[in-house]
Amino acid sequence: MIQIESIRIQELRGIRDLKLTMNHENFVVSGPNGSGKSGVVDAIQFALTGEIGRLKGSGTGDLTLAEHGPHVEKRSDPDAASVRLDVFIPHLNKSATIVRTIKKAKHPQITPNEDAVKAVFAEVADHPEITLSRREIIKFILTEATQRSRDVQTLLKLDDIDQTRATLKTTENKLLTEQSIAKAQFADAQDSLKRHLDLAALKPDDLLAVVNKRRKLLGLPEISELKKDTDVSDELAEGGIQGTGEQTKESALADLKALLDVAEKGLELSTKGAVASLLKDIAAVEADSTLLPLIKRHSFLQAGLDFVDGPHCPLCDKDWDTKALRVHLREKLEKSKEAQLVRDRLIESGRTVAAAIIRLRGLIDPLTKLPEVAKEFSTRLGQWSGGLLTFSESLGSLDGVIAAKSRLQSGWAVASNNLVGDLEAVQEKVKARPDKSAAAEAGSFLVVAQERLNNVRTARRNAEEKKANASLGKTAYKTYCDVSEAALTKLYEEVEQEFGSFYRLINHDDEGEFKAKFEAAEGKLGLLVDFHAKGMFPPGAYHSEGHQDGMGVCLYLALMKRVLANHFTIAVLDDVVMSVDSQHRKQFCKLLKTKFPKTQFIITTHDQVWARQLRSEGVVGAKAAVAFHTWTVETGPVLDEIAEVWVQIDADLAKNEVPTAAGRLRRHLEYVAAELADELGAKVKYRGDGGYDMGELLGAVIGRQGELLKSAAKAAKSWGDTEQSEKVRKLQEARDQILAASNGEQWVINKAIHYNEWADLSKNDFKPVVTAFKDLLQLFRCDKPKCNSWLSVTPRNDPVDLRCSCGHFRLNLKEK
Amino acid sequence: MATIQEEILEEFYRRLEKADGFTEAKRKKVRDLFGGSKKPKAADLVTVFSENPKENLP
């Protein structure tokens, strides 16, 4: 995975032209609501994935990336809307660049054009969850189990597991159907042979006894053992005996009796339960107009899912979002699960009726060959059997089963009215058949016996094969289910442990014994959390909004750690932990620093206090921050990037744009004054609405600086620290000169007269103002170029030191 | 980095080695199907599970 070194955003969403340098370190973007912070998140997401999350999903209606991705004034120029990311790839120890425009969103330019680098960007694109808003994070906590299951599945990339499971289940079902049909065919072949041999059971000794009786009569050698290749009619021709293949009288009568028995008892008797179940489910489908579309959609969606296996639609060849489409289809499949149960019952019962039809055809077909069956009746029997075959085949599909309703109601067998009479007439004719010689009878008997034995052997081999195949399908499905269930249980346990430990770190003061438990069931993922050792409850039951916020982030981090392991090198957190109080946020900082030292966090927030806290707690460096003040359609976010503000002001003045430079200076001073008031512990009159103006803050800051330098001078004197005494003296001297030269104290005290009127000054009048404030602010910074951080007092409550973040500047404030 | 699905499939293949009827040839075909660029369909798996060595003896 990657870390961002810098980003250049042009004409994208609300941003016109913005460059931020992040140096693959943590970075914070702050600013009030509507100042354009989320535009940075959108841009990072777009550069890495080719998509913008807020233009997708429910509630986005007609929004599209192509139309609404570019800045509103560049709607017709999608090529102008672009993002360039310069990144560092830790595991390759290599820098790379990705440039993506709205016009060619699916085809970014990647430099260097190397497979390893492209693979890294492909991996990042597969993890859009690296950018996450509070709304998305909290959904892991406050959501129903079914939705949480989907969201967690998506994040953990578990969709493939479900799809594989479904494919293996379908495979098992298909093989079971084949086994069921083969089994029915085998039973039919056995019955046919048993009737011919007049045996109740096919035991080898009994079969040989019946066969050898005829062979003996024909003078043929007896068969002592029934082997796989034994031919009971062996040597018949050699013995000069012509077996006609015509059924013997007894055999013919047995076949006739078999069909007559079934016809008299009821041709559909064996399927009574299956038909009742079919009619009930068909009635349910007819009564609920939404059921059939849901059932059909399930098959359609399942089939469709199989086709979502490339970047283009196979019909129109247009690009599609494979991942989003698959998630969408799976959600729809989930919704039609109940309907799927009805569908499964319909198919299963249809399979039972189809097997019964195969058995019935096995009784009909031999009769068509009897010489006593008149041609007309033989044709009718053949047509009946053919019709039954067509009907049985139609029961293999859902539409066929539902269309079979009226036939199932009226009797699926559709036998002729006088079937029994016709069969009895044939029976009489067979009985009246003139006796043949015993030898002829025996010859025919052996030929037909061998024919039916061959059928049994073929059907048995087929049935055994299908059974073995079905066993493979069953084993594969069960094995996959066992393995995936064990893996998911382990995974959820790991996430539970990690989630709990993260949350305890943040809330060690009041929930040091916190633990969490996932409850995974099919399609659901329940979450229970401990509440002050009073039991396990859903997260929304008793925990405050702030605690839920914390839980959301902890769970997200635990999931990401499990998914990406040491590839979790970047996360963009958009306005998260906003409901967490200051003390717990401090612990959150500790969590980020200690548990994720190799992850670059890019954090946006509308809360200046949180932005400062991130810096003071060392999560982000002094320069790794940018503050947006306002936003306009024309300019995009107006930012106050500390390092570049003076360059920007000089550029404004070079173009004689004094009002722009004046506005920029004022906003910068407002921002810095707030920072310094906090860093130095300046005393400011409290305002309930937090609406401090620059004059109040900067005045307090300058005053506080004076106090601190005095304290440092006294401390140096008491310790006999001549080096510090000299340093303080020089600082005081420089301070006095700058304040005298700039008259800064008066400016900041009397705002009505001065800084509101800067915009009316001429360029030459305004330049000294800029120089004065630049010099003034430099007094509050470390003079070491690599540090250049604001000075701050430590500890806050009872300061001992005035220092910078690198330690180069340090003044002792405590007297001996 | 192996995804969870890949980890599961590896364990799945390992267990099939000990399962009755899953010859080396069949396991290879199953692995090839799941390892291919396109996701296997049930019909593909039915074919693999239904392939049995034909007896060539007269």
Instruction: Answer whether A164 touches B (CB < 8 Å).
Output: yes
- pLDDT tens digits for range A491-543: 889 989 999 999 999 988 888 889 998 887 666 778 889 999 899 998 888 98
Residue where one domain finishes, among candidates A590, A620, A640: A640
Residue A506 and residue A587 in contact, taking contact as beta carbons nearer than 8 Å: yes
Task: Determine which of A2, A229, A472 to mutate to test the interface with B (most B C-beta atoms within 10 Å).
Answer: A472
Question: Is pLDDT at A386 greater than 90 in this prediction?
Answer: yes
Tokens of A777: 């602010």
Residue A207 belongs to a domain: no
Residue A93 belongs to a domain: yes
Predicted pLDDT of residue A753? 38
Chain A residues touching B49 at Cβ < 8 A: 171, 175, 469, 472-473, 476
Q: Do A1 and A121 reside in the same domain of the chain?
A: yes
Chain B residues touching A326 at Cβ < 8 A: none
Chain A residues touching B37 at Cβ < 8 A: 309
Of A107-111, A317-321, A427-431, A599-603, where does mean pLDDT reach its minimum? A317-321
Of A199-213, A270-284, A782-796, where does mean pLDDT reach its minimum? A782-796
Residue A301 belongs to a domain: no
Task: Determine which of B5, B27, B47 to mutate to test the interface with A (most A C-beta atoms within 10 Å).
Answer: B5
Residue A592 belongs to a domain: yes
Residue A711 belongs to a domain: yes
A483 vs A236: CA distance, rounded Å: 58
Q: Which residue from A173, A166, A176 is spatially nearest to A302, judged by alpha carbons?
A: A166
Q: Do A94 and A9 reside in the same domain of the chain?
A: yes
What is the 3 state secondary structure string of A479-515?
Answer: HHHHHHHHHHHHHHHHHHHHHHHHHHHHCCCCCCCCC
Chain A residues touching B50 at Cβ < 8 A: 175, 178, 465, 469
Q: Do A611 and A722 reside in the same domain of the chain?
A: no
Instruction: Answer whether A157 touches B (CB < 8 Å).
Output: yes
- pLDDT tens digits for range B5-57: 888 999 999 999 999 889 999 999 999 998 887 888 889 999 999 987 655 44
Q: What confidence category does residue A294 fall into, taking pLDDT thresholds of 50, 70 and 90?
A: confident
Q: What's the rounded mean pLDDT across residues A410-426?
A: 90
Q: Do B5 and A161 touch (CB under 8 A)?
A: yes
Question: Is pLDDT at A324 greater than 90 in this prediction?
Answer: no
Residue A730 is which amino acid? K
Find the helix or strand (DSSP H, E) in which A803 lies: strand A801-803
Q: Do A682 and A626 reside in the same domain of the chain?
A: no
Three-state secondary-structure class, residue A84 = strand
Predicted pLDDT of residue A309? 66
Residue % of chain A over a pLDDT of 70: 92
Chain B residues touching A468 at Cβ < 8 A: 21, 52
The boundaries of the domain holding residue A31 are 1-126+569-640
Q: What confidence category does residue B1 fall into, taking pLDDT thresholds of 50, 70 and 90?
A: low
Q: What's the rounded mean pLDDT across residues A112-134?
A: 87
Q: What confidence category does residue A755 fall into, taking pLDDT thresholds of 50, 70 and 90?
A: low
Residue A359 belongs to a domain: no
Instruction: Answer whether B39 touches A (CB < 8 Å).
Output: yes
Predicted pLDDT of residue A757? 63
Q: Do A683 and A806 reside in the same domain of the chain?
A: yes
* Number of domains making up chain A: 2
Residue A489 belongs to a domain: no
- pLDDT tens digits for range A708-750: 999 999 999 999 999 999 999 999 998 888 887 666 544 443 4
- pLDDT tens digits for range A430-481: 999 888 888 888 888 999 899 999 999 999 999 999 999 999 999 999 999 9
CA distances from A141 to A179, A540, A584 (A): 46, 8, 18
A662: CB partners within 8 A, 6+ apart: A755, A758, A759, A761, A766
A558 vs A498: CA distance, rounded Å: 6
Residue with tokens 């539409």: A399
Q: What confidence category does residue A805 fall into, taking pLDDT thresholds of 50, 70 and 90?
A: confident
Chain B residues touching A156 at Cβ < 8 A: 4
Q: Do A476 and B5 touch (CB under 8 A)?
A: no
Count of CB pairs separated by less than 8 Å, A with B: 93
Q: Do A686 and A636 reside in the same domain of the chain?
A: no
